[in-house]
Structure 1
Amino acid sequence: MESYFLGRQPILDRNQNLVAYELLFRQEETQEAAKVTDDLSASANVIVNAYGRFGIQNVLGQQRGFINADLDLIMSDIISLLPSKHVVLEVRVPEQITVEFLQQCNDLKQKGYQFALDNIVAIDSKIEQLLPIVSVVKVDVLALGADELEKLVTALKRWPVLLLALKVESREQEIRCKQLGFQMFQGYYFAKPEVMSVKRTDPGKLSLLRLLTLVTDNLDHEEIEKEFKRQPGLSYNLMRMVNSVAGDLPRKINSIKHAITLMGREQLLKWIQLLLYTTGKSEDGIPSARMQTAVERGKLMELIAAVERPHDKNHHERAFIVGILSLLDELLGIEIQQIVNKLGISDDMCLALMKREGRLGQALKLVEADEQGNGVAIQSILAGLGFLSLDEFTGIKIQASGWANQTGDIAN
């Protein structure tokens, strides 16, 4: 599989204004529902895709996202990765409602999370236990006759919940549901699920296990950062995740270390566990040649920056990020402008990636000229930089290549 997929179906208000999306697990570029054999795995895939691979702002805009949350997900630590302002946790009534489940739901509600009950066709004692917790009840209007629907709506109005008409397939159904007092609507009459896709760059389980070990062993940020540096796709994923969760940051994210610090060790651990849950096995175990080039580029950019400003660690880190991001448009199938917009990186990094301008941009031009074997351009750029001789450049190229080769298995 060469891409990641994510389904989303609009949820509208009484005036057909968009108010939310339901986010759906998809395995291919089709509107048809994917076959789900493991609810937790499907939900984990939706979360990883929405927050890390697509970026939540890109998926939801200013709207909320309804995410299917089964019993295992509700009871897991994964939930805390999801900012309460973005999501509505959509639950189906579990076979058994335990005291622990109710307590967890109440705790999450106290933290600002909202719940929706999914596919309701009648009220029973189990549902009555959950109604005080939920904000939205999704009623399957397709499964009910006119009298049954009216009776159910009348009963639900005893609770302070919003009613969402699910599976609306005709104008007549919409009118009927409006007359009954439904506030929200979802169904094929309004829109079928849209399937979004992004090019796949799996970090591979071995890399994630190495990271998991480093974070679990409480090693310092430097060791964790080193492992991320061997994984361009994973580094991009991390920065997207931090941007998605943190929203409008007062400062730009300018390094992997910065992103790790903002996320925090505990959240980082949960995110790696989530990625492990959703990462498939690579087909042949062979690292992508372009991924290898991206890693090498990052290290070479870092080493050039270290010659220019030996004591400016921040400059070195920014140079590394520019190096690995410079190929991600090709690796991910996303325009570089979109990558820059989504990551919220500093201005000099944007200038380097978009226009090959500024000190970082000149260094990137040098690296690209070298990859193309353009000796004239290399001499010209080195002269313009003024701090690096051809011999020194050859020396750090060997260093960068050796470092990239030591990373071993990049894609797995």
Structure 2
Amino acid sequence: MPAHDLFPLAGLEAVADAQHELVAVALRPHPTMDAYDTALALCGYPGSGALAPLDRIVTLADPLRVRPEHLPLLPPSNTVFRIPVDALEDAATRKHCAALAGQGYRLQADGTAGFAQIESGISGLARDMSAVLPQLPPEWALLTMNGPHWAYGIADVEHHAVCRAAGFHWFSGDPARWRGPAAGDGTSRKRLLALLALLAEDADSRELEAVLKQDPALSYHLLKVVNSAAFGLATPVHHFGQAINVLGRRQLQRWLQLLLYARPQPDGPQDPLLPQAAQRASQMEALCRLQGGGRERQDLAFVTGVFALLDVLLGMPMADIVAALRLDMDVVAALLERSGPLGELLALVEQPVPDPARVAAAGLTHEQFWQGQLQGWQWAIQVGRNLR
């Protein structure tokens, strides 16, 4: 890694709708890096089109910095500008914002609602809900704007419900804190652990099928994935033997690991942990490959990422979950202690904003970290589409 890595370093915050489906990502640059310069560099990076199905939220501390030559990198079709309300006190800034709105950009005002936002072309509000729920905007502010309105920093399930009832459309924060209590009874948890154990032991497909048949919701989602447009099958798949042939053992195992998070009823909302599990698993795999890890090592990295949220999903201590599975010891150390190479990589991808020192310690450049993030989000988007 070069002594001075000038490539911008940033994290991506998942933003979901009321059904917990991904709708946007918010760019979170490292504090030492300029937010707008980072956005321009990363949005123009080859491969960043993988994020195109989602809106991108870009923070504008100074909207006057947006110049005509920048706009091709920030198309209005999927760019949302978040603007601190203090910036709207300046008349020139308000005029510039109104011009951006006239070009089709959606602008969110972050702060207390005011009439200055109306003449600025603001279409939505953003609010920080971390720690203590702040005073919500007056009803008129939400009703007179098209949105989307974004509540970020959701602290718990109560905050989520209050913001949803107030009229917010988009939500972000730590889904482990606002998804509510773990669902399922003891029998369901034992069945999940039995399935995970069989997967870890590379069990015969008939053994997997026997467990899957006991879990209608999981069975439904697996067949839905195989029959999705992503595979383009001419003839629908109706049983697990066919599914295994279509996916292959490696892909089947990966989808089953992710489908553990698709536990709600088929017509119910998605579990908010699913996008996070998918994104982390695929990012872990990509970063492991960039470190020089072979296919088997990449598989272990993927498993580490997808299993890291099982304690939240099942409402059980991670030690009890690991005890029921036959996992590689490197994976065990990573899940229990965040130790060893896989544990250090997991701790890195769990950071909301990546630490340059940890990126360097992992033997990665800032650009490689961004490449890994892109692969992770591309996979999360695909998973979300296939499980709708």
TM range (shorter): 0.3 to 0.5
